[in-house]
């Protein structure tokens, strides 16, 4: 019986798994600084645009004064919604780019040989990269949008007070906690859970493709769709994909209806969680991420 190798030397201090994982995440942010710089830049632009917007508030308040409370709400929360949507669109696009690069760039610059020389498993590595579109970017989006909303509201209030109108009506119609809750809910349902298979697919392609990951990400689904159309005259895959990108099972918040009625009514987690599409999508996403781990273990530099 040979002794356990490490028994021959004094055991080194273990590094707790959580702290190691935090280093993996930090590494991702070092390598891809643009994933947070882009949302920050968009937030900056939004705030810049909020300044002239605030100065139009006294006139706007006059215009909405005669409307019903629900219509007032819709009119006054308009640009807060736009700010949220812009930020969400930004981080969504950033997530797409990030996922496609995540497991590709380390193989292209051969640094995978260095990363693999360290005692970090392929599972931990892929999970750290998965955490970026699933946790870090949504969180960043919510925080930045919340800050933008708060600054916009404060600016508007200040202008209204200076004009002698007082911000009372504005505050009565625009509720920050309500908007933040909606945003958070929409991020979790749509951007994390509903889009999960999109991120999963891109991570998988990123681990698989030797080059041109964009082509590999787009062409195979496109080809399958075309073949399906020619062979069966149907468009099941196309419908599935367009539903994944722009539709959804409902109950995710932020639909067209949310502008005319109480937006909190849009949050129906029951409807959302009862949708088969959600769960199928999550299983598919898990499959793709698992595939990426499998590939990370086997693929070397390209």
Partner 1 sequence: MAVIEACGLRKVYGGNVALDGVDLRVEEGGILGLIGPNGAGKTTALNALLGLTPYEGELRVLGRDPWRERDRLMRDVACITDVAVLPRWIRVAQLLAYTAGVHPRFDRARAERFLERTTIRPTHKVRELSKGMVTQLHLALVMAIDARLLVLDEPTLGLDLLFRKQFYDTLLGDYYDKSRTLVVATHQVEEIEHVLTDVLFLDRGRVVLAIGTEALEERYREVAVRPEQVAAARALGPIHERQAVGRSVMLFDGGHGERLAALGEVRTPSIADLFVAVVGGQAQGAAR
User: Whose Cβ is closer to partner 1: residue 8's or residue 230's?
Assistant: 8
State how far the Cα of 192 lies from the Cα of 91, in Å rounded to an integer.
12
- Per-residue x/- mask for partner 1, residues 54 to 93, rule CB under 8 A? ----------------------------------------
Scanning the structure block, which residue is given the tokens 């998965």? 130
Q: For residue 15, state whether it binds partner 1 (rule: CB under 8 A).
A: yes
User: Whose Cβ is closer to partner 1: residue 14's or residue 246's?
Assistant: 14
Q: Are the C-beta atoms of residues 196 and 92 closer than 8 Å to each other? A: no
Supply the minimum distance, in Å, between the C-beta of residue 113 and partner 1: 4
DSSP letters along 131-188, please? HIIIIIHHHHHHHHHHHHHHHHHHHHHHHHHHTTS-SHHHHHH--HHHHHHHHHHHII
State how far the Cα of 21 lies from the Cα of 190, in Å rounded to an integer.
26
User: Whose Cβ is closer to partner 1: residue 5's or residue 66's?
Assistant: 5
Q: For residue 106, state whether it binds partner 1 (rule: CB under 8 A).
A: yes
Q: For residue 127, state whether it binds partner 1 (rule: CB under 8 A).
A: no
Residues between 214 and 253 that touch partner 1 (CB under 8 A): none
**Could you say which DSSP state residue 260 is in?**
T
Question: Which of these ranges, 54-62, 107-115, 207-215, 216-224, lies near partner 1 under the rule CB under 8 A?
Answer: 107-115
Cα three-residue angle 81-82-83, rounded to 5 degrees: 90
Supply the minimum distance, in Å, between the C-beta of residue 219 and partner 1: 24
Q: Which of 18, 19, 66, 276 binds partner 1 (CB under 8 A)?
A: 19
């Amino acid at each position: 019986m040979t002794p356990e190798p490490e028994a021959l030397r004094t055991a080194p201090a273990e590094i707790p798994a959580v702290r190691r994982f935090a280093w993996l995440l930090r590494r991702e942010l070092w390598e891809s600084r643009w994933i947070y710089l882009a949302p920050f830049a968009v937030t900056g632009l939004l705030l810049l645009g909020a300044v002239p917007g605030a100065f139009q508030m006294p006139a706007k308040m006059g215009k909405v004064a005669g409307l019903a409370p629900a219509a007032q709400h819709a009119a006054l929360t308009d640009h807060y919604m736009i700010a949220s949507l812009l930020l969400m669109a930004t981080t969504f696009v950033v997530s797409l780019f990030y996922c496609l690069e995540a497991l590709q760039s380390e193989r292209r610059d051969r640094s995978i040989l260095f990363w693999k020389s360290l005692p970090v498993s392929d599972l931990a590595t892929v999970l750290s990269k998965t955490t970026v579109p699933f946790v870090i970017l949504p969180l960043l989006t919510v925080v930045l949008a919340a800050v933008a909303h708060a600054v916009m509201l404060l600016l508007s209030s200040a202008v209204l007070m200076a004009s002698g109108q007082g911000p009372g009506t504005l505050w009565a119609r625009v509720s920050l906690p309500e908007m933040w809750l909606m945003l958070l809910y929409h991020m979790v349902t749509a951007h994390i859970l509903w889009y999960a298979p999109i991120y999963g697919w891109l991570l998988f392609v990123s681990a698989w493709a030797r080059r041109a990951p964009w082509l590999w990400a787009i062409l195979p689904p496109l080809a399958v769709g075309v073949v399906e159309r020619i062979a069966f005259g149907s468009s099941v895959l196309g419908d599935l994909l367009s539903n994944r990108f722009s539709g959804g099972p409902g109950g995710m918040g932020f639909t067209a209806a949310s502008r005319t009625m109480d937006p909190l009514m849009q949050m129906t987690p029951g409807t959302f969680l009862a949708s088969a599409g959600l769960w199928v999508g999550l299983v598919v996403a898990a499959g793709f991420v698992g595939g990426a781990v499998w590939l990370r273990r086997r693929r070397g530099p390209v």
